[in-house]
Structure 1
Amino acid sequence: MERSEFAPGDYVRHPRQPDWGLGQVQSALGNRVTVMFEHAGKVLIDTDVVALERADDEDAP
């Protein structure tokens, strides 16, 4: 399996779902990234379909 651009612990936002809030990467294998979002819970993201945005440092808890 190829490496992901994300690693567990990274903070991200979903560009098309801003109401989901800040998300923390739980696991990342290739283009499959599992993220725990503040307001949406755990979501599996295909990064070939959704370009997750890294959260700014000041956003991270």
Structure 2
Amino acid sequence: MITFFSPGQYVRHTKQPDWGLGQVQSAVADRITVNFEHAGKQLIIGGLELVVVSEREIVESRAQDTKGN
């Protein structure tokens, strides 16, 4: 399945869960630049490892971060 990413979408990297939540900065052809919470800006080629995060997951992730501080 081919997923198209657009700037502003939130994603997770399935093989790097410790990177946390990421926001797509740009998507040109098969090159997706994502800014991750715990890994900074990363260039992902192909995007097969990325999954789009639902709004509910975003809220839950932010709530956990708030509790941790």
TM-score normalised by L of structure 1:
0.83
Aligned residues: 57
Letter in 2 for 1:51: E
Where does structure 1 lack aligned partners over 5 or more consecutive residues? none
Corresponding residue number in structure 2 for 1:45: 44
Q: Deviation of residue 52 (structure 1)?
A: 0.7
Asked if the contact 2:13–2:50 (Cα under 8 Å) also holds between the matched residues in 1, the reply is yes
Root-mean-square deviation (CA, aligned residues, Å) is 1.6
CA distance in structure 2 between the aligned counterparts of 1:56 and 1:17, rounded to whole angstroms: 18
Corresponding residue number in structure 1 for 2:9: 10
Where does structure 2 lack aligned partners over 5 or more consecutive residues? 60-69
Moved runs in structure 1, 4+ residues, more than 2 A?
none
Structure number with the bigger relative contact order (C-alpha 8 A, sep ≥ 6) is 1
Structure of larger gyration radius: 2
The residue matched to 1:58 in structure 2 has which SS? helix
**Which structure dedicates a bigger proportion of its chain to helix?**
2
